[in-house]
Structure 1
Amino acid sequence: MLRTHISTTLAPVPAGPYSQAIAANGFLFTAGQTPHHPVTEDTVGETIGEQTRAAMENLAAVLAARGLDFSHVVKATVHLQEPARDFAGFNAVYEEFVKAPYPARTTVGSFLGDFLVEIDAVAVIPA
């Protein structure tokens, strides 16, 4: 299996031994993107809406590094620090980025430290 490392300076640098994304067998698998500024690494925004927008912009940058956009995304996994409180606010911003037919999605509650949301995706790479 051929795996290709995908990286961009327009999204935060990985904080550990992982890639921003890997392309393999016609798919792009992204690491979770957080609401951190790509250069300063500071958390962007305080509300779930602001942080979701920042995380989605980081995810968009990783997709774009392989020539893709949200129309190529077939599956997303979303981690929310406080799902009961933040689901509606997250969803409102998320829907600005993805269009019908929407990607399949799993949303879970997770301990995320000092930020509210993390999003990863699987996208189809056109032949």
Structure 2
Amino acid sequence: MAKSIIQTDKAPQAIGTYSQAVKAGTTVYLSGQIPLNPETMEMVSDDFAEQAKQVFENVKAVCEAAGGTMNDLVKVNIFLPDLSNFATVNEIMAQYFNKPYPARAAIGVRALPKDSQIEIDGVMELPE
């Protein structure tokens, strides 16, 4: 099965040896997104809610570049250095998804790139 590299200027460019997403068949594997402003490649804010919104916007941009929407995500992983922010994540996530929601894991981590307070990756299944 051939794979396609997904790339968009509407999400931060990769800051390492990875692609924003890779499509294999109808499945798209999204790399982790942190709250970088895609135009400046700087952190959007120190405020957690603003960081979370930017991450969801970045994920949304990659989903759209792959030909899908946020509602095509079947699995989402959310990485948080501070799990006390989980309620805020739920509130913001509800603004980006319709029911039925994707499967999800919230993972407490020690640190994230660029001292981000949140990172999200996921797997998307495109309609055939």
Matches within 5 A, 1:33-72: 33-72=33-72
SS in 2 for 1:29: strand
SS in 2 for 1:67: coil
CA distance in 2, matches of 1:46, 1:95: 22
Matches within 5 A, 1:2-81: 2-81=2-81
Q: Where does structure 2 lack aligned partners over 5 or more consecutive residues?
A: none
Aligned CA RMSD, in angstroms, stands at 1.0
Matches within 5 A, 1:94-113: 94-110=93-109, 111-112=111-112, 113=114
Shift of 1:47: 2.1
Shift of 1:41: 1.0
Shift of 1:95: 1.2
User: Residue type matched to 2:108 in 1?
Assistant: G
Shift of 1:53: 0.4
CA distance in 2, matches of 1:91, 1:80: 13
TM-score (norm 1): 0.95
Identity %, equivalent residues: 35
Shift of 1:46: 2.0
**Does 2:87 match 1:88?**
yes
Shift of 1:67: 1.7
Shift of 1:45: 2.1
User: Residue type matched to 2:79 in 1?
Assistant: H
SS in 2 for 1:96: coil
Preserved CA contact (<8 Å) 1:79 1:117:
yes
Q: Where does structure 1 lack aligned partners over 5 or more consecutive residues?
A: none
Shift of 1:115: 1.2
Shift of 1:126: 1.3
Shift of 1:94: 1.1
Counterpart in the other structure of 1:121: 122
